[in-house]
Amino acid sequence: MGGIVIVGAGECGARAAFALREKGYDGSITLIGAEPHLPYERPPLSKEGLKEQVQPKYIAEAERYAASGIEVLTDSPVKAIDRVAKRVELFDGGSIAYDRLLLTTGARARTIPGTEGASRRARTLRTQADAEEIRRELLPGRRLAIIGGGFIGLELAATARRLGVEVVLIEGLPRILSRGVSAEIASVVAERHRAEGVDLRCDTKFDRIDVDERGVRILFANGQSIDADFLVVGIGASPNTELAEAAGLIVDNGIAVDATLRTSDPDIFAAGDCCSYPLCHYGDRRVRLEAWRNAQDQGTLVAGNLLGADEAITSVPWFWSDQYDLTLQIAGLADGAVTTVRRDLADGAFILFHLDDAGRLLAASGIGPGNAVARDIRLAEMLIAAGKRPDPRALVSPETKLKALLAA
């Protein structure tokens, strides 16, 4: 008989493996990864991890896996899942039996046709290898073009400017951070990037990108063009669902799972960036989240469910981004909000609270230096989880403690 096999050696898979041991599981655990590294943190790849010589920030060292009895297979891409025989087949010809299988296959960066693999001058930023290649290009006086005004592109722009690199960032939509971030906060971020010297161009669409070993040229419909030494494409990510689809599992904007993270096969679970699940705080709408904390939360939860706990996920979505000295934090999902009120804090920080037509708090988003908004965003997260309908006037007033609203 097999034990528990985890396909996908990232944050979620590693967290699940250790959580299984913490919950008392004493059977075999095999963690399989396609990359040559042990599981590592991805958030630093666009932030502090690029400032110096790029080294993986490992989730745990090899000795800890060994001490916990977790077998880690690196550089071992999985070819197929045989659900009948309950085996995972590797590209090297080997196979591993399982009693329960967990898919934490993550996501991959979206690309632009004509740039993928065209040259070292054009890359995406998703893996340790990507970060290492990009860091070699981040030299003072060089020019970086970034396509995409989301978190990855903006974090990379901030890091590049700190290293003395010229940056032009192109966003096709009218503003940056269009997905899940209010226009008011996006405006603060945009102003800061421009103040730091980023050439930020929104509502700008390109016709063609030419890439060769000399550099990059981006051509626009009006006949203008931009030349750069290298290009990074940051236009989001797509879930890695190919294994699941080939195995006949249901896929719906990711590997479809129920509230316990179980797939359409009762012996296979999925968690992290690769799966979509019903979110209880928002009418069980199906969502797929690409977030560090979500990977951790689901890794811990699914470990218990692999052992029969049958616990539903109830955590509130949470995101963060560091750019220059600013930290942006968001709790919840603001879709469906009809009212937004603002609470001003010290040092120019502020939080926006987003409420639905019944007055229920759906989300809170804040920005400020350092940890200026962290405590209030954490309390807002708790208010969302509790389904609270706080008085908007109380949310606006800095004198009103959010902790008091939670107790009300």
d(CA 299, CA 280): 18
Identify the band that residue 237 occupies on the pLDDT scale cut at 50, 70 and 90: very high
Residue 266 pLDDT: 97
Residue 174: exposed, middle, or buried by beta-carbon count in 10 A (0-12, 13-18, 19+)?
exposed
Chain-centre distance of CA 74, in angstroms? Answer: 22
The model's pLDDT over 157-173, given as tens digits with 9 standing for 90+, comes to 999 999 999 999 999 99
Could you tell me which of 320, 232, 335, 267 has the C-alpha nearest to residue 100? 267
| pLDDT at residue 118 greater than cutoff 60 | no
**Residue 201 pairs with which residues in a beta bridge?**
170
In this structure, are residues 41 and 50 in contact, taking their beta carbons and an 8 Å threshold?
Answer: no
The model's pLDDT over 259-291, given as tens digits with 9 standing for 90+, comes to 999 999 999 999 999 999 999 999 999 999 999
Count Cα neighbours of 130 within 13 Å in the Cβ-side half-sphere. 21
Q: What is the mean pLDDT of the chain?
A: 94
Share of the chain above pLDDT 90, in %: 89
| pLDDT at residue 398 greater than cutoff 70 | yes
Domains of the chain plus CATH, in order, are 3-108+237-306 (3.50.50.60), 111-233 (3.50.50.60), 325-407 (3.30.390.30)
Query: Would you give the end-to-end CA distance of the chain in angstroms?
Result: 53
Residue 117 pLDDT: 63
Share of the chain above pLDDT 70, in %: 98
In this structure, are residues 205 and 172 in contact, taking their beta carbons and an 8 Å threshold?
Answer: yes
The model's pLDDT over 192-210, given as tens digits with 9 standing for 90+, comes to 999 999 999 999 989 999 9
**Hey, what's the torsion of the CAs at 56, 58, 61, 65, to 10 degrees?**
-130
Kind and range of the H or E run holding 297: helix 292-306
Q: What is the mean pLDDT of residues 20-48?
A: 94
Vertex 58 angle, CA 54 and 60, to 5°: 165
| pLDDT at residue 48 greater than cutoff 90 | no
| pLDDT at residue 347 greater than cutoff 70 | yes
